[in-house]
Structure 1
């Protein structure tokens, strides 16, 4: 299992393919919501297993020295193998190297236990995003 940051269009394309399969096809998120303006400015990472792109995430710095994790996803055929955790560790390592004070994300409600195990805490009331309940979560570094 290896995480690669998108240094070229090929890796970014792999990230988009994984996101299309998970968010657009599996979860019925409209393409116009999934592929947004932040794709052009965010850093993208892909997790590869035996040469196949099986997970993806994007990351960007926001205000107040905080990084934002977005679009974390793993193919349904590869869930439960630690791929999401592997991607999150790569994000946290990058955030630490960039001397960010915290990392935040908007988690789908069903994913709260996953993020809580990684040390994230809910910091908002539930809200709807892409027709699904979410909660903002934060981890101080």
Structure 2
């Protein structure tokens, strides 16, 4: 059974970073200098576990007054399609509401935009490239 929770220890934070490394750096070829940034220290991190194995991760940070930004949503490749991403997003959205955010924004890789649309995010603006990967901007009112 998958357990998804807000990170509250250094070990859990390292697990979240390890999932991101596997997905973004190893699988997608994102440069490590782009993947890990100054926001990691103050963002809220969420990690999904199957037993003791970290299988998914995401983070939430304060973007501007009343607006949070969802970033680095990652699920290990063999575990995709099991609903882990939805569980990560549910935890992030609950936390965002608890933190007083009225809106969430994110940059979705184009291939994942339907996932967020199913979660009631709407696309705005034109497609753009980030870390060498095509993305679209999306948002949701909470």
TM class, shorter-chain normalised?
Answer: over 0.9
Instruction: Report the equivalent of 1:74.
Output: 75
Instruction: Report the equivalent of 1:50.
Output: 51
In 1, are the aligned partners of 2:110 and 2:135 still within 8 Å (CA)?
yes
Which protein is richer in strand relative to its size? 2
Shift >4 Å, 4+ stretches: none
Q: CA deviation at 1:4?
A: 2.1
Instruction: Report the equivalent of 2:85.
Output: 84
Q: CA deviation at 1:62?
A: 1.4
Counterpart Cα distance in 1 of 2:5 and 2:97: 17
Give me the TM-score of the superposition, normalised by structure 2: 0.97
Counterpart Cα distance in 1 of 2:67 and 2:75: 24
- Where does structure 1 lack aligned partners over 5 or more consecutive residues? none
- Where does structure 2 lack aligned partners over 5 or more consecutive residues? none
SS in 2 for 1:126: strand
Q: CA deviation at 1:84?
A: 0.3
Question: What number of residue pairs does the alignment pair up?
Answer: 141
| Cα RMSD for the two superposed structures | 0.8
Equivalent residues in 2 for 1:1-141 (5 A)?
1-141=2-142
CA displacement 1:28-78 (0-9 Å, x = unmatched):
000000011111111111000122100000111111311110000000010
